[in-house]
Amino acid sequence: MKEKIILVDDEQVIREAASEILTDSGYAVVTAACGEEGYEKIKQEHFDLVITDVKMPGISGTELIKMIRDELSADVPILVITAHGTLELAIQSMEYGTQGFILKPFTPDEIRELVDNVLKKARLIKENIKLKALVPLFELNKRLLSELNLELLWDLIVDEAANYTGSERTSLMLLENDGSLQLKASSGNYHETDPDKENRESFNDWVVKTKEALLLDSAAVYPDQFKQMMMKTEIQSALCTPIIARGKLLGILNLAKVSSDRPFTTSDLEIISVLCGQVGIAIENAKLHDNVQNVHLGVIATLANAVEARDEYTANHALRLSTYATFIAKEIGLPRNMIEIIKRAAILHDIGKIGIPDKILLKPAPLTKEEQLVMNEHPVIGSKILSRMNDLEEVTVIVKHHHEFFDGTGYPGRLKEEEIPIGARIVAAADAYEAMTSARPYRKAMSFDYATSELEKMAGRQFDPQIVSAFLAVLRRTNV
């Protein structure tokens, strides 16, 4: 779905020019000729970015910004467009929580670059929010799997889904043997006999038929047959998500907002989809016992990917590191089960960075001493996250100690030599090589020769000499 921008400016020439530039850049653009019109449109629809002029008849740009922040959204990105750029304006804009301003006249590149950067940052923030929202699902997953009282389980599912999303009407419908859906639990002002029942059943029928989720609101794109239904109902936004286990549809989780002016988003859909996956596992717990751990790992891997998504420079870092670590483990002749443990640990080694503030994690320059101390906490944070998972004890130990130095000067435990788990020694060498040969915001990627010479130089100090020797043999033989 295209990101949606609203442009509020009383000058038609500016509206048309900026709209054309941003539309050509792949955005969906809505325009408004005054502050009043802009406010009404923002009130009715979800926008990913607001661009507003400062001086307009009626409601001024600064008044519009204040109204948006006070009444509609505290976090939607806002850009100011003006012909009167001053330091005072910049300070005032920042006080209202805007992300910058565009000076008239502007070039296509200027407005395009600023909008791209602001929306890119907004996407990273959303990913981080989504990432942090996923973490409690670990604990919820345990509760779902351990709750054997079905009536209590149904209530737990509904209550937690409502808590995560702010749903005002929530219901859990399970598929019976005859193909009908039966209400198991509900919360909010939900009633089986409410006026929306007929429409809700139509939505559910579509989900049963397609096994796909429905995101319904004024800005969403969905099948034409539902548009008239949404106009007749008091529901402003809804999520209808299938509960599936092993390809089999078990039921549907319905969430709806009536009075809220904050509709469900794709992030809500993703989180509820994860929750519904866990619900499906809980329902079929007895039959799927052997697969529970793999699902845990799938959720953790999602977190690991989301950590990398916060920083474009570390994208695919864990995957490449896992490849190197696997090569080393095979080179020194470790058994297959240990290789799999090391592979998992390599993928999850930086999971603890979820607890590191963005200003440190995404800093485009070397860290200060104080910042480095904060960053050094990530192995411990990661081990605490993983310690909640059954059967991940060996992975957890590797994650905790992958920054130990062979000479005992590393962290967090200052372990040395054979005290350091073999998996952690392997991940440490692979991690260092991958980091050196990847670009960072403050430096270019280092050459193969430089990186390998650094490994040799630090053998016996930072790295296990035998691990380094095996790694270099693999690198020079395979050119990976």
Q: How far apart are CA 23 and CA 2, in angstroms?
A: 10
Please tell me the least confidently modeled range out of 7-21, 65-79, 304-318: 304-318
- What's the pLDDT at 454? 95
Max avg pLDDT among 58-72, 213-227, 276-290, 462-476: 462-476
Q: What is the CATH number of the domain that holds 20?
A: 3.40.50.2300
As given in the structure block, the two tokens for residue 239 are 């999520």
Confidence of residue 443 (pLDDT cuts 50, 70, 90): confident
Confidence of residue 468 (pLDDT cuts 50, 70, 90): very high
Confidence of residue 287 (pLDDT cuts 50, 70, 90): very low
User: What are the tens digits of pLDDT across the range 379-416?
Assistant: 999 999 888 776 688 999 999 999 999 999 999 999 99
Do 47 and 151 have their domain in common?
A: no
Which helix (H) or strand (E) segment holds residue 114: the answer is helix 108-134
Last residue of a domain, one of 238, 263, 287: 287
Do 219 and 237 have their domain in common?
A: yes
Do 299 and 281 have their domain in common?
A: no
What would the 3-class secondary structure string for 195-234 be?
A: CCHHHHHHHHHHHHHHCCCEEECCCCCCCHHHHHHHHHCC
Do 122 and 249 have their domain in common?
A: no
Q: How far apart are CA 311 and CA 360, in angstroms?
A: 11
Q: What is the mean pLDDT of the chain?
A: 83
- What's the pLDDT at 227? 62
Confidence of residue 203 (pLDDT cuts 50, 70, 90): confident
Confidence of residue 39 (pLDDT cuts 50, 70, 90): very high
Helices 422-436 and 336-348: crossing angle, nearest 10°? 50
> What domain range is 369 assigned to?
293-478
Assess contact for 35 and 58: CB atoms under 8 A.
yes
Q: What is the CATH number of the domain that holds 275?
A: 3.30.450.40
Assess contact for 181 and 204: CB atoms under 8 A.
yes
Q: How far apart are CA 413 and CA 433, in angstroms?
A: 22
Domain count, the chain: 3
Q: How far apart are CA 28 and CA 447, in angstroms?
A: 42
Do 337 and 393 have their domain in common?
A: yes
- What's the pLDDT at 253? 95
- What's the pLDDT at 231? 63
The rounded percent of the chain whose pLDDT value lies above 90 is 38
Assess contact for 68 and 75: CB atoms under 8 A.
no
Do 436 and 419 have their domain in common?
A: yes
Do 218 and 310 have their domain in common?
A: no
Q: What is the CATH number of the domain that holds 311?
A: 1.10.3210.10
Do 52 and 189 have their domain in common?
A: no
User: What are the tens digits of pLDDT across the range 297-347?
Assistant: 666 667 666 666 666 555 578 888 999 999 999 999 999 889 989 998 998
Do 85 and 144 have their domain in common?
A: no
One-character DSSP codes across 421-440: -HHHHHHHHHHHHHHHTS-B
User: What are the tens digits of pLDDT across the range 87-97?
Assistant: 566 666 667 77
Do 190 and 307 have their domain in common?
A: no
User: What are the tens digits of pLDDT across the range 113-162?
Assistant: 999 999 988 888 777 766 666 667 777 777 777 776 677 788 888 988 88
Last residue of a domain, one of 77, 112, 128: 128
Do 357 and 241 have their domain in common?
A: no
**Nearest residue to 308 via CA among 290, 327, 322:** 322
Higher pLDDT, 354 or 326: 326
Do 323 and 267 have their domain in common?
A: no
- What's the pLDDT at 331? 96
Confidence of residue 289 (pLDDT cuts 50, 70, 90): very low
One-character DSSP codes across 134-202: HTHHHHHHHHHHH---HHHHHHHHHHHHHHHHT-SEEEEEEE-TTS-EEEEEEEES--TTSTTHHHHHH
Assess contact for 341 and 398: CB atoms under 8 A.
yes
Last residue of a domain, one of 100, 128, 156: 128
Segment 255-277 shows an average pLDDT of 81
Confidence of residue 260 (pLDDT cuts 50, 70, 90): low
